[in-house]
């Protein structure tokens, strides 16, 4: 079967290098794992990337020497800090809303359930 999509036929697709110069990106959960890899890749492609996480130390280490990179420390389980993040990061072209917990939460797992934000307290981005 003939391949439907090839990198040669579509420069910029499937991992071929492309330029994100002039684009602004915000990556949450950027201090480790998937978020860190995505934020670093966007930065290497030339985007101005805001690295955001609840954990400040790795953020500063990660963005040292990265051109156009900035850091915003925010706990996304706290509505006021979500608003702060949106204000500081400003309008972005690319949003990677990746922050999260992989482990189980709730009383059976030791009680992190109170870190969730009630639906009626999640700010509407249009109000920021
Ligand atoms: N790795 C997997 O197999 C997998 C599978 C399904 C979903 N996911 C989801 O993908 C995302 C990334 O996963 P990962 O494996 O890279 O996890 P990770 O734990 O390596 O990274 C998650 C990051 O989110 C940050 N974070 C956690 N709670 C936060 C909060 N309240 N505010 C701000 N930052 C917070 C952490 O500090 C951490 O740096 C998570 O949302 C996870 O639930 C991962």
The ranges assigned to domains in the chain are 24-99
Confirm or reject: Cβ of 114 under 6 Å from ligand 1: no
Q: Is the pLDDT higher at 114 or at 16?
A: 16
Confirm or reject: Cβ of 34 under 6 Å from ligand 1: yes
- Render pLDDT for 66-106 as a digit per residue (tens, 0 to 9): 999 999 999 999 999 999 999 999 999 999 999 998 765 55
Q: What is the pLDDT of residue 105?
A: 55
Contact in structure between 49 and 75 (CB atoms under 8 Å): no
How confident is residue 5, by pLDDT bands cut at 50, 70 and 90?
very low
Backbone angles phi and psi of 85, in degrees to 5: -60, -45
Dist. CA 75 → ligand 1 center (Å): 12
Q: What is the pLDDT of residue 23?
A: 98
Say what percent of the chain tops pLDDT 70. Answer: 66
Dist. CA 33 → ligand 1 center (Å): 7
Judged against a pLDDT cut of 50, whether residue 20 lies above it is answered with yes
Q: What is the pLDDT of residue 115?
A: 55
CA separation (Å) from 79 to 47, 86, 128? 27, 11, 12
5-9, 30-34, 45-49, 63-67: lowest mean pLDDT where? 5-9
| Alpha-carbon span 11 to 102, nearest angstrom | 35
Architecture of domain 24-99: 3-Layer(aba) Sandwich (3.40)
Q: Which helix (H) or strand (E) element contains residue 70? A: strand 70-73
Task: Tell me which residue of 125, 24, 23 sits closest to 76, measured CA to CA.
Answer: 125
Q: Is the pLDDT higher at 100 or at 7?
A: 100
Task: Tell me which residue of 18, 26, 92 sits closest to 59, measured CA to CA.
Answer: 26
CB count in 10 Å sphere of residue 75: 16
């Amino acid at each position: 079967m003939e391949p439907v999509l090839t990198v040669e036929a579509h420069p910029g697709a499937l991992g071929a290098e492309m330029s994100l110069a002039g684009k602004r990106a915000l990556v949450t959960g950027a201090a480790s794992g998937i978020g860190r890899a995505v934020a670093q890749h966007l930065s290497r492609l030339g985007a101005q990337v805001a690295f955001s996480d609840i954990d400040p130390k790795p953020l500063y280490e990660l963005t040292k020497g990265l051109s156009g990179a900035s850091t915003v420390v925010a706990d996304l389980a706290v509505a006021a800090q979500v608003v702060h993040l949106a204000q500081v990061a400003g309008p972005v072209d690319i949003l990677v809303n990746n922050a999260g917990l992989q482990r189980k939460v709730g009383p059976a797992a030791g009680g992190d359930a109170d870190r969730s934000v009630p639906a009626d307290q999640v700010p509407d981005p249009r109000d920021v």
